[in-house]
Every structure is written in structure tokens, then in C-alpha cells.
Amino acid sequence: MSGLSGIAMMMLQDSGANAHEVYLMRLCAVVIAVALVAQAVGVLLAASYAAKFLMKLDKMSKTFEEKTVPILTRTNELIRDLAPKIASVSTNVEQISYTVREKVDELGVTVSQLNETVNEINGRTRRQVVHVDGIVTEALYATEEISRTVQDQIRKPVKQVAGILAGLQAGFATLVEKSPFIKRNRPGPYDL
């Protein structure tokens, strides 16, 4: 250690080169001290502005609190007052929903039954129309058959009577022709 003290003493001796270095070190120390003071002043100013800002924030928060606390209090009271009513409305809506669902289901069943009834009536109507169409068709065929039968029944006797009359006429014509009592202009053997 004594060796180190000796070296330190030699460095601190007043020589011309060392005096300039000591002056520069003192100048640097002054510059550093001024910078530290400026920094301290800056920190103090920032702290001052921060304090003012915090006071403004405190005032704003108090104002906000003064204005919102009554609103929040009233809101809480309304919520407490409305909670049973909302629960009642919710229960009523749920019951209404179940009732409406049941009625919709009943309506669906009724509509299905009505649809089945309409389909059944439609089927019956179609069968009746087919039946009536068959009856009308049969009646037309029967009428046509009766008409043919009547025509045939009338034609046969008329043909028979016509045949008999034609036979009688032919017979009378033959009788008249062969009758000796009737004179005729018969061509004679000399007539041409």
C-alpha cells in the first residue's frame, strides 16, 4: 500500500502539465455540477407541473364523483326496484311463450285435421263426380240403346208392313194384269 501512496503523490505534484489537467478536471466538474443543477431544476419543474396536473385530476375526479354518485345511486335504486318487476315480466313472457307455443301446436293439429278433412271431402267429391259421370254415361248409353231398340222395333214392323203392302201391290198388279175383265192395250201380233 505504501507503494500506491507514493505513486499517487507523484501524480499530484504540481507540474505544468498537471496543472492544465487539474484545470480541465475542475472545469469538467463545474460543467457536471451545472448540468446536475439544471437537471434538478428540470425535475423540480416537472414535479411542479405533475403536482398541478394531479391537483386538476383530483378536482376533476371529485367533480366526476359528485356528478356520478347520485346517478349511480339512483341507478342502483332503480335496479333494486325493477329487479322483481323484470323477473315478473320475464316469467310472464316465458308463460306467454309456452301458451303461444301450445296454441300454435294446437293450431297446427287443427290445420292438419282440416287439411285431412278437405282432402277427404275432395276425394269423396271426385268419387261422386266419377260416379255421376258413370251414371250419366250409362244413361246416355241406355238412351242410345233404347233409341236403337225403338227404331229397330218400329223399322221391323214398318218394313214388314211395307213388304206386305209391296207384296199386295205386286199381287194386285198381277191379278189385274191377268184378269180377263180388264182391257188393255196390248200390242197385237201386228203392232210394232
Question: What are the extents of the domains in the chain?
Answer: 19-172
Q: What is the pLDDT of residue 88?
A: 80
Who's near 177: CB < 8 A, 6+ residues apart? 184
Of 56-60, 100-104, 125-129, highest mean pLDDT:
56-60
Whether pLDDT at 167 is above 80: yes
Whether pLDDT at 10 is above 60: no
Q: What is the pLDDT of residue 185?
A: 60
Mean pLDDT of the chain: 80
